[in-house]
């Protein structure tokens, strides 16, 4: 009889367990894609420090973002965790660092590349702080 009730408990929690597994799988896939795109092991010869700072700070931002989205989705949903003006701020924090990483390859920023890298490193760090504060508060 104990095996039967244990099986029922597993079946009733299956949806929750599946959400946890799929969320973790999603984090691994998206982070792997970000790592493959940035290739942090390849550093620019002329600007090694700024390039490494940008890539590491973006990957850290991406990891924090994915974990917070995962936790918020499992907790109550993104619309309940980030309400009203916080949701607008969340959207800014979601897109601005990613736009910065994609824009680094544009020809317009080639002359000011090092300053651009440092600027977006600071943006990535501020985005991590903002995400953590918005999730906690």
pLDDT, tens only, 59-93:
999 999 999 999 888 887 777 778 888 889 999 99
Scored b (16 or more CB within 10 A) or e, 87-111 reads: eeebeebeeebbebbeebeeeebee
pLDDT in tens, 2-56: 555 555 555 667 777 888 888 899 999 999 999 998 888 888 788 889 889 999 9
Helix, strand or coil for residue 83?
coil
Q: Report the C-alpha gap between 8 and 1 in whole angstroms.
A: 11
Residues spanned by the domain of 11: 2-136
> What is the number of domains present in the chain?
1
């Amino acid at each position: 009889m104990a095996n039967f009730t244990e099986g029922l408990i597993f079946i009733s929690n299956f949806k929750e367990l599946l959400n946890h597994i799929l969320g973790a799988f999603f984090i691994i896939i998206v982070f792997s894609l970000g790592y493959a795109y940035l290739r942090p092991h390849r550093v620019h010869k002329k600007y090694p420090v700024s390039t490494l700072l940008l890539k590491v700070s973006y990957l850290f931002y991406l990891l924090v973002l994915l974990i917070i989205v995962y936790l918020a989705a499992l907790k109550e949903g993104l619309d309940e965790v980030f309400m009203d003006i916080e949701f607008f701020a969340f959207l800014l924090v979601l897109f601005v660092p990613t736009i910065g990483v994609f824009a680094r390859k544009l020809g317009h920023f080639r002359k000011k590349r090092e300053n651009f890298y440092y600027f977006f490193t600071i943006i990535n760090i501020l985005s991590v702080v903002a995400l953590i504060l918005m999730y906690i508060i």
